Amino acid sequence: MELRANRVRRKLEAGEPAFVVGGVTHADDIDALGPIGFDGIWLEGEHGGVDAADLGNLTRACDIWGMTSLVRVNRNDQGLIYRTLDRGAQAIVVPHVDTRTDAENVVAGGKFPPLGKRGLFISRQGYGVGDYLARANDETLLIALIEDIEAWRNLDEILEVDGIGVFFVAPSDFAASLGHIGNVGHPDVQEKIEDSLRRIVAAGRTAGTLCMNDNVQRFAEIGVRCFFTSTGPWVAAGARDFKANALKGVR
């Protein structure tokens, strides 16, 4: 058995854009998205209902389609990070990475020695892979969420931490930390988000953020290469268009 490649990580390291979609909670939904061509599936374990018991089937569905399984955990806890990897995740998204120490903790939990302190266990991704412990670090992607004004202040130091593959600017919490809860479009919020992304890119690190159809090109021009979107807005937009077109024909 060969160790499965981490599609998102491979594309980002090659300088190519990687596209990740979220808003799914069932393996059948992942199968439905498989043919569309996304590189990864965001599995929501902080605000959503994804638990450890679900991860085997969810990550297997991602494996079938060659998509990276990215799991957002609900806290920066080393044990939680490596247990989630043990359950089959190929990438971990960690919230509220506000300091260099926070970033170092992500790496400690997500990488085997000598890079980190991940507990020695053969993950579901490692079944049948004889050299898994020696190679797993190369196919594991760690994503730090930059989502507080404190993280913006400490960003230069955070960016110095090796082992983190994506520094992801999360807009909603960022807005709340600036006193503009629910108002991501506020000029102060947008200025700080764009400044964070530009600093990440300027440091030679990989930037990611939440994007929609109307702003993804702007973020790409800034230098973002890890693009995350959700199925929810697409479903809502499609429903509006569908009903509007039907009503045009109603006499």
Catalytic site positions: 47
Q: How many angstroms separate the CA atoms of 140 and 8, rounded?
A: 10
Which of 58, 59, 51 is closest to 26 using CA atoms?
A: 58
CB 65, CB 31: distance < 8 Å? yes
Extract the tokens encoding 51. 């638990």
Angle separating helix axes 78-86 and 52-64, nearest 10 degrees: 50
**Backbone region of residue 72 per phi and psi (left: phi > 0; alpha: psi in -120 to 50; beta: other values):** beta
What is the torsion angle, in degrees rounded to the nearest 10, for the CA atoms of residue 138, residue 87, residue 210 and residue 30? 110
Helices (H), 68-131: 78-86, 100-110
How many CB atoms lie under 10 A from the CB of residue 198?
14
**Backbone region of residue 166 per phi and psi (left: phi > 0; alpha: psi in -120 to 50; beta: other values):** beta
| Cα distances (angstroms) measured from residue 233 to each of 89, 125, 143, 168, 187 | 26, 32, 24, 20, 23
